Amino acid sequence: MPPSTSLILSNVWLFGSMACILWSILEVLCITVTINTFCLIAIDRYMAVTRPLHYPVIVTINRSRLSIILVWFLASAISFFPIALGWWKSDLPAAQTCYDDDECCDLMANEMYIIVSSIFAFFLPLGIMLFVYHRILKEANHQVAKISRMTIRAIQANSVMAVKEKNRFHMKGQRGFWMLSIALGAFILCW
CA angle 82, 88, 91 (to 5 degrees): 150
Q: Per-residue pLDDT tens for 112-134?
A: 999 999 998 889 999 999 899 88
Domain count across the chain: 1
CA angle 16, 17, 23 (to 5 degrees): 95
Question: Structure pTM?
Answer: 0.76
Pick from 115, 97, 116: which is nearest to 106 by CA? 97
Contact in structure between 20 and 109 (CB atoms under 8 Å): no
* CA dist list (Å): 105 to 5, 10, 13, 33, 66: 12, 12, 6, 22, 34
Q: Per-residue pLDDT tens for 100-117?
A: 888 888 888 899 999 999
Confidence category of residue 143, pLDDT binned at 50, 70, 90:
confident
Contact in structure between 78 and 26 (CB atoms under 8 Å): no
End-to-end Cα, the chain, rounded Å: 17
Question: Is a pLDDT exceeding 90 seen at residue 33?
Answer: yes
What sign does the dihedral 9-16-88-116 (CA atoms) show?
negative
Instruction: Give the Cα separation of 83 and 22 in Å (integer).
Output: 9
**CATH number of the domain encompassing residue 91:** 1.20.1070.10
Range of the domain at 98: 2-190
Phi, psi of 67 (to 5 degrees): -65, -40
Q: Per-residue pLDDT tens for 51-85?
A: 889 999 999 999 999 999 999 999 999 889 898 88
Question: Is a pLDDT exceeding 90 seen at residue 141?
Answer: no
User: What residues are paired with 89 via a beta bridge?
Assistant: 109
- Residue range 133-144: mean pLDDT, rounded: 83
In a 13 Å sphere around the CA of 105, the CA atoms on its Cβ side amount to 25
